[in-house]
Structure 1
Amino acid sequence: METPGQLSVEINSEASSAPIEKAIDAGIPVIGSALESSSDKITSQIIVDDPLGGKMIGDFLAERLKGKGNIVVLEGPIGQSAQISRRKGIDASLAAHPGLKLIASKSGNWSRAEGQAVMENWLSAYSGQINGVLSENDEMALGAIEAIKSAGLNPADVPVIGIDGIPDGKRAIADGEMYMSLYKYAKAEGQGALDIALRQLVGESYEPQSEIWKTLNIDWAGGTSKHYTVPWLTLNKENIAKYLN
């Protein structure tokens, strides 16, 4: 049975390269989504800019702390593509804000429970010294907030910033417990990848069906671009009411 095309949702950009290139060499177009592939053979990919996301949350925390303070970083599984890319952006932000001092970083494996446990240990080891928290996803950020509250501290006094904009994260922002987050348009990545794949199969007469191209102002470019970037949406107390439902 002939395979007309393939959608690839990467977990690890390096590990996915071999099967992607095998498909391409067999004449099967491959459209990537979620994480950037390290293969330059991939037909096209539509992703968020994770290094930019990491830099954005670092810059927002620097602004909140007026450029000075001790911070900690909760990371995803070490070596996973999103962890590497988001940490790259965080490091770039820290380099641009030398008044921020990174006193600890550790993986919470994208887990709320692990994020809470790591934060509890930090609050004990660095009692009264932590001024802010950067988390590479919202689940770990929510765990950090629980640890902060359990320690008798006010989350508003130890700002926590996450990434992904999950429902619980949005509610935490609305409740004043999470300082802010970046919303990842997973729907845009999925629907966009499908449109690009259909363009490969149907040809230049194909018109994109998803609304994301217009609503997010992503240039369709005839459906033939090698790389499409989905923008991040900043979620904070000023705009969160619009995105709760």
Structure 2
Amino acid sequence: MKKRLAVLLSIIMTFVILSGCSSNKTTASNNKIKILLSISDGSDDYRKLIVSNAKSYAESQNIDITVKDAAGSIESQVEHMKEAVSGGYNVIICAPVNPSTALELERASKGIPIVFMNSKPEDKLLEKDKYIYVASNEEVAGKLQAEYIIDHFNGKKDIKVVLLKGEKGHNASKGRSDAVKQTFKDNGINAEYVFEDNADWSRQKAKEMLNIFLATGKKFDCVIANNDSMALGVVDSLLENHIDPSSIPVLGVDATSDALKAVKNGTLGVTVYQSAKGQSISAVKAAIKMGSGDSLSGIENLTTDGKFIWVPFEKVDKSNVDKYIN
């Protein structure tokens, strides 16, 4: 009996020791996760926020993250994928320069999991726990913008709209713009787009475009821009042309710090809060799990198919802007 008890105790002790070793091994593995973030931040304030928030959160979790600037080059971004392979990275966070290159990026990464963000690949290229997309649902932003204009003009059915879009082919440009148009249509609004063009997310380009438009003397009721940088460029143009921005609804998306100040002082009618912090933290959280070989099941805002993490949009106007100002 004593002999059997001794054997049983020996087995239990061995199990405890092995369990402890296994636990320590898992912790050490998690601490060694290396993330490569490939993005073109350029002059886009929102993408800069993505980078700063991703770095800040990763560092708070003792995770090694390296940021690579693709500088708008597809070739550079493909090289970043290859560097992730040769550099022993466990997972990649990637804002594609062009979403149509997603398959090429996946092939170049040779099986390393990728968290895509900011520019959406085709759904068929996404795969649960391996290739996912983190963002906010772009159609919601456009819908919120159009609804604001409908409420502002309360009962007016004919509205002349200036629509400034982001980069041509970018999913946010298409999603937001299409949703604006569809929301007007669904509400019986006859929206006439007196000027519509791609200002490529740029404040300077938007300003120059509106200057040219104003020179035509055409009438317009509002300006809807796909992001805050372009909306602020519109405000710059109006001020230069001695037009009071508060007299014309100008709308943006992202709720950047400059845009929030403009909403508060009345020069910007509304922005739509797209949480760069929320998206960045969600992307890094997903990357940590994927880099560890874990399932994303249970992560906040994950869709049922496991391919998307949608971070909610929120409308910001003068009535609630103080809530978003740090």
TM over 0.5: yes
8 A contact 2:301–2:310 mirrored in 1: no
- SS of the equivalent of 1:106 reads strand
Distance 1:221 1:92 in 2: 24
Structure 1 runs (4+) deviating above 6 angstroms are 205-208
What is the deviation of 1:201?
A: 3.4
After TM superposition, the structure 1 = structure 2 runs for residues 1-245 of structure 1, keeping only pairs within 5 Å, are 2-23=88-109, 26-42=110-126, 43-66=131-154, 67-68=156-157, 69-96=159-186, 97-127=188-218, 129-204=219-294, 218-219=300-301, 225-245=306-326
1:5, distance to aligned residue in structure 2 (A): 2.2
Deviation at 1:171, TM superposition (A): 0.5
SS at match of 2:125: coil
TM-score (norm 1): 0.84
- CA distance 1:15–1:207, change in 2 (3 Å): closer
TM normalised by structure 2 equals: 0.64
- CA gap 1:131/1:16 in 2 versus in 1, 3 angstroms: same
Instruction: Give the conservation status (yes or no) of the 8 Å contact 1:12–1:81.
Output: no
Q: Distance in 2 between matches of 1:188 and 1:162?
A: 19
SS of 1:88 mapped into structure 2: helix
Deviation, 1:22, is 4.7
For 1:9, the aligned partner's letter is: A
Shift of 1:228: 1.1
Tell which structure's C-alpha radius of gyration is larger. 2
Q: Does the Cα contact within 8 Å between 1:163 and 1:184 map onto a contact in 2?
A: yes
Cα distance in structure 2, aligned partners of 1:4 and 1:195 = 13
Please give the secondary structure, in 2, of the residue aligned with 1:163: coil
Runs of 5+ consecutive residues of structure 2 not aligned to the other structure:
1-85
Q: How many residues align?
A: 233
1:42-81 CA-partner distances (Å, limit 9, x unpaired)? 3222111112212221222222122432111111122233
After alignment, is 154-163 or 80-89 more displaced? 80-89
Structure 1 unaligned runs (5+)? none
Cα deviation for residue 87 of structure 1 reads: 1.9
Query: Percent of aligned positions with the same letter in both sequences?
Result: 20
Deviation at 1:242, TM superposition (A): 2.0
Cα RMSD (Å): 2.5
**Partner Cα distance (2:271, 2:210) in 1:** 18
Q: Which has the higher helix share?
A: 2
